[in-house]
């Protein structure tokens, strides 16, 4: 499997592990929260990589892609 494909599948099924939006899927986080995190700086590691990708997807109106992936590749 292409590593980026697996990254997107993982992203589709990952929930925020802490904070005000704990247990909400990353793609479902409010846009203002993602923008705030972008300005503050995303955490290091895989979570930060995923939040960076969510920021780019939301910026370009592509959240639907992740929702489609979540349906196509259920966990």
Banded model confidence at residue 2, pLDDT cuts 50, 70, 90 = low
Predicted confidence (pLDDT) per residue in 10-69, tens digit? 999 999 999 999 999 999 999 999 999 999 999 999 999 999 999 999 999 999 999 999
Residues 33, 72: Cα–Cα separation, whole Å: 27
pTM of this structure: 0.91
Dihedral angle sign, alpha carbons of residues 20, 63, 4, 39: negative
Whether 50 contacts 38, CB under 8 Å: no
Q: Domain-by-domain residue ranges, the chain?
A: 3-72
In the predicted structure, residue 6 carries a pLDDT above the cut 70 = yes
Whether 30 contacts 24, CB under 8 Å: no
């Amino acid at each position: 499997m292409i590593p980026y494909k697996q990254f997107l599948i993982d992203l589709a099924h990952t929930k925020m592990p802490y904070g005000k939006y704990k247990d909400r899927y990353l793609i479902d986080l409010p846009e203002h929260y993602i923008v705030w995190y972008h300005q503050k700086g995303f955490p290091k590691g895989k979570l930060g990589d995923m939040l960076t990708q969510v920021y780019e997807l939301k910026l370009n109106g592509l959240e639907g892609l992740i929702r489609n992936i979540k349906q196509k590749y259920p966990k």
